[in-house]
Amino acid sequence: MMTTMVQLVRGGWWCALAALLAALSCGCESPSQGGSGYVPAEGAGAGVTPSLSADAVRIGDKVEITFSDIPEVYPIMVQRVREDGSITLPLGVRVEAANKKATELQDAIVNAYVPKYFKRLSVAVRLEERVFYVGGQVRAPNRYVFLGEMTVLGAIKVAGDFTEFAKRTAVKVTRADGTEIKVDCKKALKNSKYDLPVFPGDKIDVPRRVLWD
């Protein structure tokens, strides 16, 4: 009788331990979903502001503005786009600049002055040189001039492509605002929806794989 009770107690203890271990394993985060600081890339829209064009003016950008075809002589102005997305020009004129392409900003400036201040006006807007960065396990890590629409795979090609030590499934893209996105470039090669766009100021880091990867 005593032996049977001991067996039951022992059996109950093992069941309780098994249940505890199962509960703990269910509560753990998987490396791909928690604790990594990455935003998983589920498709081309991950970590992207949908309404923002790749060549649009952004908050914090410097823009160079030249006025011509007017009686007054204004020096070339260099303005940094403020947090509210605007710039302030001669005569106290405020213009929304953020999210506009250079040509759209030129038109907005002309419309702000003509015909209220001038009968006619020509404006030239030039954006400061824009760059992106590629580092880690690529053949030519460096910063590169952003010339137009580009994706992660395209940026890595510009940097000489992957080295033989690259971990292609865990490429990290850091946006200018600090957002981090993990990109699986093996998936991206098979399906373009996983190949995210690159924007000016982005930093792409290709990690080194370990021997058992």
Q: Where residue 37 falls among pLDDT bands split at 50, 70, 90?
A: very low
> What is the average pLDDT score of the chain?
79
35-39, 79-83, 136-140, 147-151: range with lowest mean pLDDT: 35-39
Q: Which pair of structure tokens corresponds to residue 156?
A: 């890595």
The percent of residues in the chain predicted with pLDDT above 90, rounded, is 53
CATH 3.30.1950 correct for 62-127: yes
Q: Mean pLDDT, to the nearest integer, of 128-154?
A: 92
Provide the residue type at 11 as one letter: G
User: What is the CATH number assigned to the segment(s) 39-52+130-206?
Assistant: 3.10.560.10
The percent of residues in the chain predicted with pLDDT above 70, rounded, is 74
8 Å CB contact between 50 and 192: no
Q: Where residue 4 falls among pLDDT bands split at 50, 70, 90?
A: very low
Is the model's pLDDT at 35 over the cut of 50?
Answer: no
8 Å CB contact between 102 and 125: yes
* Domain boundaries, given as residue ranges, for the chain: 39-52+130-206, 62-127
Q: Mean pLDDT, to the nearest integer, of 133-158?
A: 94
CA separation, residue 117 to residues 85, 110, 113, 140 (Å): 23, 10, 5, 51
Residue-level pLDDT at 176: 79
Q: Where residue 178 falls among pLDDT bands split at 50, 70, 90?
A: confident
Comparing 50 with 131, which gets the higher pLDDT?
Answer: 131
List pLDDT tens digits, range 51-83.
456 678 888 888 999 999 988 888 899 988 998
How far is it, in rounded angstroms, from Cα 133 to Cα 141? 8
How far is it, in rounded angstroms, from Cα 170 to Cα 197? 16
